Structure 1
């Protein structure tokens, strides 16, 4: 009798394990882990996207990062399913430098990089020898320098790639400005020690700054919008399509209009409003 009971128990155990294996293989992924920098893009996920995905039966976990390297490493290694912090120009350079093949899938509403100051209200206040801090990562350093060039304050070498120019490419600095590239996350904190600072939108808003307080705001081209980034093999998977559908939804457009004033809208939101 004891032997018979053990045999029956073993059979049921094997059947249960087999059923579990069959379910996990057949079911689509219903839990998504997304990496983002703390601030507006993490907030967009929490407040605008997760409620939409939860209605579709998804559970979303957010992992917050404080740099621009680890989110891509974590995504490439499969520790997260997507990330949200970078523009497509930065990702292209990252892929090349690190020999990976991550994909910028689609843009999201983006807080533009802007020039801030605790001491001055206008570019007219700029005087010879003043100090300007800016992000030291190649893409955002280039954006900052290109803005200075647009203001007529510096001239950049015409032969330099405008997407990756550095302070070494400056051929004319009319006011002999002290240009100080620093870690992007430190730019808001530099305001107390500098005359002006170029600050990425996510770090500006996370530190309590408002776009309306900026001295000047970038007219952000599409290549500098923030993108949802995925592994190449995942872009057609149901979880990735559900995430994309949420961003393209009317519900998220309403959220953008209410809570992201001053952000640069991605093309699909602009088109949706034009067609209304």
Structure 2
């Protein structure tokens, strides 16, 4: 009987050791979610090779909406995601009871106004149709750009981050303002006069920043951030991701492959030091 117990004890110890070894190797496996397009491409082409040099095996999961990447992250199906700005994440956390954390910004394709029919803001006429992304933060960004053109006036009492079409006090040109799912805005161009398109969806659909009628002067709050769960904020894999994004190699990639993107402060500082 003692021999059986001893044998079982040794076997259990062996199994636990094996599990511990597997767990340790698993620390080098990363699954990162991103919307299809520029941020997925940045990861695949500019970041994954640098992580592989450190022994990581990286899987990129592409999403086509702005909801599932955060759900997947919160549920532990992925380790990080890359597609949203800080204000969008703050609003998402509040609405869904999550505690996801933005850790650092990445080169960002700005939101821009596109048209297949017009080439200038001066082309605006009464009754024109304008499509915008319908998620709260990017809808507000688009409306504030319209206000900057002098086409509408927004109620100053409203939180500027969550202003909607319902908060328009004056519509100077009686514009038909139509919020759509963000992924649908590029497809709306054939049926509308102007469309605000988020950078990732614009580039993924073949639109080019230099073709835009107007491009947002993107503030740091609206840069795209790598996002993780709160408990992973100080983890080794996050530090290694940050090192990769802040490297000279990735700055070179940005300059070659991401022209027109808004660079985060650390890349601007790196350029100044060179």
TM-score, structure 1 normalization: 0.94
Distance in 2 (CA, whole Å) between partners of 1:124 and 1:84 is: 36
In the other structure, the counterpart of 2:224 is 226
Distance in 1 (CA, whole Å) between partners of 2:23 and 2:42 is: 31
In the other structure, the counterpart of 2:59 is 61
- Structure 1 residue 21: Cα displacement: 2.6
Distance in 2 (CA, whole Å) between partners of 1:68 and 1:150 is: 26
In the other structure, the counterpart of 1:102 is 100
**Within 5 Å, which residues of 2 pair with 1:177-216?**
177-216=175-214
Distance in 2 (CA, whole Å) between partners of 1:43 and 1:222 is: 21
Q: Is 87-96 or 232-241 further displaced after alignment?
A: 232-241
Distance in 2 (CA, whole Å) between partners of 1:167 and 1:39 is: 28
Q: Is 12-21 or 54-63 further displaced after alignment?
A: 12-21
Give the count of matched residue pairs: 273
In the other structure, the counterpart of 2:37 is 39
Distance in 2 (CA, whole Å) between partners of 1:69 and 1:222 is: 22
Distance in 2 (CA, whole Å) between partners of 1:243 and 1:225 is: 17
Distance in 2 (CA, whole Å) between partners of 1:141 and 1:99 is: 22
Residue 263 in structure 1 maps to residue 261 in structure 2 = yes
Distance in 2 (CA, whole Å) between partners of 1:69 and 1:14 is: 42
Q: Root-mean-square deviation (CA), in Å?
A: 1.9
Distance in 2 (CA, whole Å) between partners of 1:255 and 1:115 is: 26
- Structure 1 residue 22: Cα displacement: 3.3
Structure 2, gaps ≥5 residues long: none
- Structure 1 residue 240: Cα displacement: 1.3
- Structure 1 residue 9: Cα displacement: 8.9
Tell me, what secondary structure is at the counterpart of 1:119?
coil
Tell me, what secondary structure is at the counterpart of 1:84?
strand
- Structure 1 residue 27: Cα displacement: 5.2
- Structure 1 residue 130: Cα displacement: 0.3
- Alignment CA distance shift 1:18-1:186 (3 Å): same
- Structure 1 residue 245: Cα displacement: 0.9
- Alignment CA distance shift 1:28-1:127 (3 Å): same
- Structure 1 residue 241: Cα displacement: 1.1
Tell me, what secondary structure is at the counterpart of 1:160?
coil
Tell me, what secondary structure is at the counterpart of 1:149?
helix
Distance in 1 (CA, whole Å) between partners of 2:112 and 2:237 is: 34
Q: Could you tell me whether the CA contact under 8 Å between 1:28 and 1:238 is conserved in 2?
A: no
Tell me, what secondary structure is at the counterpart of 2:178?
strand
2:88 to 77, 83, 90: 90
Tell me, what secondary structure is at the counterpart of 1:60?
strand
Tell me, what secondary structure is at the counterpart of 2:156?
coil
- Structure 1 residue 186: Cα displacement: 0.2
> CA offsets, 1:6-46, max 9 Å, x none?
99997875454233133245557100000100000000000
1:124 to 86, 104, 122: 122
In the other structure, the counterpart of 1:133 is 131
Distance in 1 (CA, whole Å) between partners of 2:269 and 2:201 is: 28
TM-score, structure 2 normalization: 0.95
> CA offsets, 1:51-99, max 9 Å, x none?
0000000011011111111110110110000000000000001111111
